[in-house]
Structure formats: C-alpha cells, structure tokens
C-alpha cells in the first residue's frame, strides 16, 4: 500500500476532513505540525507481518500490511476533559470504515479491513486517536512472470536470468532386472551396474 493513494482516497470520500488529510511516519514526527483549527487525518504505515511460505517448491508468502489513520480532534477552549471529542470518535470511525473497509488500494494488496482504534495523545488543544486497518499482500509468484523486472524475490529473479532450456538428455541405468551381476561390486546384488540401457534425447526449439 502507498500512503499517498490512501490520502487521495480519503480526501475524495471523507468529507468530514475536508482537505485536511496527509501522510506521515508516526505521531511523534507529526505532532509538531498538527496545529490545524479543524479535524485532520494522517495516514501512517505501521507493522507488516509475514507468514510462512505457502508452497514447498517456490517461495510465496502472505504479508499482512498495517496502516493507521491518525485523527487529530481539536478541543474547544475550556473543554480540556474532551467531552466534545468523545462524541465525535464513533462518527469518525463510521466515516473511515465506509471509505476504507473493502476498498482495494492500487498495487498488490487485497481489500482493507478494520482492526480497531487506540488512544494516542491529548493536550489542551487536541485529542488524537489511531484507527487501524490492514490488507493482505502476496509476496512472490506461484508461476514465474515473463519479465525479470516483475520478480519480487531473489529466487524468481535468479531463475528468470537462466538461459532457455534447449533440451533434455535422459540416460537410464536400470536397477533390476536388466543388470549384469558380473559388473556389480562385491556384495551388491542388484543394479545399477553402470551400463546405460535406455537413452532419450529431446530438443526444445525456440522461435
């Protein structure tokens, strides 16, 4: 997920913020600039958790990518207890969920789901809550892409750099019953005996 895409979506679909939506890295970095007289939202990427590989023969993992919408609620003068803000929190959650839950951001991630909210900060001027969302993204490909630039893992990038398969040469040394026991080492009773009984060569022409 790209924060700028979420910012644009919230600006278009959350009228309760007007144009007061931006992106940031965390609340500590944002709070010095949060002096807006109106309610404001900040899109903040959070933790990303990777699952175990889904397959044994190729590396494909599911990533759960988190994002917080950190909302700063201005507090009215004389309302340091935040009574006015308390009434706004649920309404803002509903507006955010209506805009984001089920929406699929551009890129490889799936649709967003709601994870809950948490209290972040309060002072005489504002109260701050974080509304958490997440989406699942798949890292890697079950089938190799055609373009090396689309590779998402070193495994895929390395495989895509290999030359095209020109052909195969199969030689079969049977274990049994086509075994010459006179060729076996002492104590060995069955093949392989070192002789090639069957051979197959297959070429793969490329246009």
Instruction: Quote the tokens at residue 111.
Output: 């649709």
Summarize pLDDT for 50-89 with one digit per residue, the tens: 999 888 888 889 999 999 999 998 877 655 555 667 888 9
| Bridge partners for 101 per DSSP | 112
Q: Which helix (H) or strand (E) holds 122?
A: strand 113-122
Please compute Rg for the chain using Cα positions: 30
pTM value is 0.73
- 29 against 114, higher pLDDT: 114
Instruction: Give the residue among 163, 133, 150, 118 at the shortest CA–CA distance from 65.
Output: 133
- Give me the mean pLDDT over the 157-179 stretch: 82
Tell me what pLDDT residue 184 has. Answer: 82
Per-residue pLDDT at 75: 78
94 against 33, higher pLDDT: 94
pLDDT surpassing 80 at residue 24:
yes
């Amino acid at each position: 997920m790209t924060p700028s895409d979420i910012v644009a979506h919230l600006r278009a679909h959350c009228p309760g913020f007007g144009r007061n939506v931006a992106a940031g890295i965390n609340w500590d970095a944002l709070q010095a600039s949060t002096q807006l007289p109106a309610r404001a939202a900040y899109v903040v990427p959070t933790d990303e958790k990777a699952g175990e590989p889904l397959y044994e023969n190729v590396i494909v993992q599911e990533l759960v990518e988190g994002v917080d919408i950190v909302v700063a609620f201005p507090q009215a003068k004389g309302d340091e207890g935040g009574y006015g803000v308390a009434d706004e929190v649920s309404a803002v959650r509903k507006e955010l969920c209506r805009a984001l839950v089920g929406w699929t951001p551009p890129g490889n991630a799936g649709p967003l789901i709601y994870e809950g909210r948490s209290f972040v900060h309060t002072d005489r001027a504002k109260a701050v809550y974080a509304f958490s969302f997440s989406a699942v993204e798949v890292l890697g490909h079950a089938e190799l892409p055609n373009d090396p630039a689309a590779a998402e893992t070193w495994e895929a990038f390395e495989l895509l750099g290999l030359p095209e398969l020109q052909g195969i040469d199969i030689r079969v040394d049977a274990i049994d019953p086509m075994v010459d026991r006179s060729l076996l080492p002492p104590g060995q009773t069955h093949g392989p005996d070192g002789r090639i009984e069957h051979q197959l060569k297959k070429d793969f022409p490329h246009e």
